[in-house]
């Protein structure tokens, strides 16, 4: 496979990461469909697995950075008031509290999860169940209050963090779990989405940093094989995530999440059919 094709495939995967990371549709569910469709090298090349693994970790970081840049003013103004204003102090304390459950559960169970749950049929089942939950909540759940995400107190933040633990199951979607959790504790649709974005920052930076540290320490990444694909994927992941997050918030001003629920059900059915016919995972 020539370098141009590798960069094209890296571009496609970077765009996919930017689109799916913050929408409640599961980036894992999509990556399982495209990993073999957009390879980053010749299957016979021993460096390919290292490059694929490094790519999947690295391109998440620019997507998180896009949220930081998009909300930089609100986050900076709130951070400046820590210790001086109760509201700002409670918000940042709440983010730490919300981050801890998934961090602890991930450290304790990540080996078991990777060994037992990264299977197409489980991802498909999680997509289907999550889609049904989103549709049901949008139809019968409470509307939530109008207050911004920054007013979420630590007890509610802890509840959202506990819901985030569900996202350790591949296919659940961290965004879906935290948005539904936030809605259940009383946040509006828009505030729930924003809190999900804010909570993604410590959660994903920590998860990506930990996975990258382990991979580098074990010698499992191949930087020399793919500096250009990593750069291409990272730039497009950042740009796409920035556009998608901004567009998602505009979408939520007048629409519900039901469309994402139906999309998850469709994707889950596709993955389940692919698994049943041996296209993936067998």
Q: What is the pLDDT of residues 19-73, one digit of tens each?
A: 999 999 998 888 777 776 787 777 666 667 767 777 888 889 999 999 999 999 9
Tokens of 194: 């924003």
148 pLDDT exceeds 70? yes
Q: What is the pLDDT of residue 2?
A: 73
Tokens of 227: 């500096």
Q: What is the pLDDT of residue 224?
A: 53
Q: Confirm if 40 and 229 have CB atoms less than 8 A apart.
A: yes
pTM score:
0.91
Query: What is the rounded distance in angstroms from the CA atom of residue 96 to the CA atom of residue 188?
Result: 21
What phi and psi, each to the nearest 5 degrees, are found at residue 142? -70, 155
Mean pLDDT across the chain: 89
Q: What is the pLDDT of residue 211?
A: 79
Query: What is the rounded distance in angstroms from the CA atom of residue 148 to the CA atom of residue 143?
Result: 14
What distance lies between CA 212 and its chain's CA centroid? 16
Q: What is the pLDDT of residue 28?
A: 81
Q: What is the pLDDT of residue 234?
A: 92
Q: Confirm if 261 and 132 have CB atoms less than 8 A apart.
A: yes
Q: What is the pLDDT of residue 213?
A: 79
Best CA proximity match to 39, nearest among 229, 193, 181, 222: 229
Task: Give percent of the chain with pLDDT exceeding 70.
Answer: 92
Q: What is the pLDDT of residue 37?
A: 76
By the 10 Å C-beta count (0-12 exposed, 13-18 middle, 19+ buried), 277 is classed as exposed
Best CA proximity match to 206, nearest among 84, 104, 55: 104
Q: What is the pLDDT of residue 218?
A: 63
Cα end-to-end distance, the chain, whole Å: 25
Higher pLDDT, 278 or 108: 108
Q: What is the pLDDT of residue 47?
A: 65
By the 10 Å C-beta count (0-12 exposed, 13-18 middle, 19+ buried), 162 is classed as middle
- Which of 176-190, 218-232, 254-268 comes out lowest in average pLDDT? 218-232
Query: What is the rounded distance in angstroms from the CA atom of residue 225 to the CA atom of residue 10?
Result: 13
pLDDT digits (tens, 9 = 90+) for 150-192: 999 999 999 999 999 999 999 999 999 999 999 999 999 999 9
């Amino acid at each position: 496979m020539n370098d141009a094709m590798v960069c094209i495939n890296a571009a496609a995967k970077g765009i996919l990461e930017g689109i799916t990371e913050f929408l409640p549709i599961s980036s894992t569910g999509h990556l399982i469909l495209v990993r073999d469709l957009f390879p980053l090298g010749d299957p016979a090349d021993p460096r390919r697995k290292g490059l694929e693994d490094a790519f999947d970790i690295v391109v998440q970081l620019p997507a998180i950075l896009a949220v930081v840049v998009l909300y930089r003013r609100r986050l900076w103004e709130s951070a400046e008031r820590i210790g001086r204003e109760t509201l700002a102090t409670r918000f940042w304390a709440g983010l730490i509290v919300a981050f801890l459950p998934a961090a602890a559960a991930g450290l304790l169970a990540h080996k078991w999860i990777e060994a037992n749950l990264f299977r197409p049929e489980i991802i498909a089942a999680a997509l289907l169940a999550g889609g049904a939950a989103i549709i049901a909540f949008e139809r019968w759940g409470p509307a939530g209050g109008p207050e911004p995400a920054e007013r979420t107190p630590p007890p509610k933040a802890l509840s959202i963090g506990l819901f985030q633990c569900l996202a350790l199951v591949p296919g659940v979607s961290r965004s879906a779990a935290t948005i539904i959790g936030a809605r259940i504790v009383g946040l509006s649709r828009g505030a729930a989405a924003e809190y999900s974005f804010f909570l993604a920052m410590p959660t994903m930076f920590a998860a990506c940093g930990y996975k990258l540290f382990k991979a580098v320490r074990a010698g499992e990444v191949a930087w020399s094989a793919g500096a250009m694909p990593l750069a291409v994927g990272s730039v497009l992941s950042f740009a796409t995530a920035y556009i998608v997050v901004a567009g998602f918030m505009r979408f939520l001003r007048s629409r519900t999440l039901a469309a994402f629920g139906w999309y998850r059900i469709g994707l889950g059915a596709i993955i389940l059919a692919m698994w049943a016919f041996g296209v993936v995972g067998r």
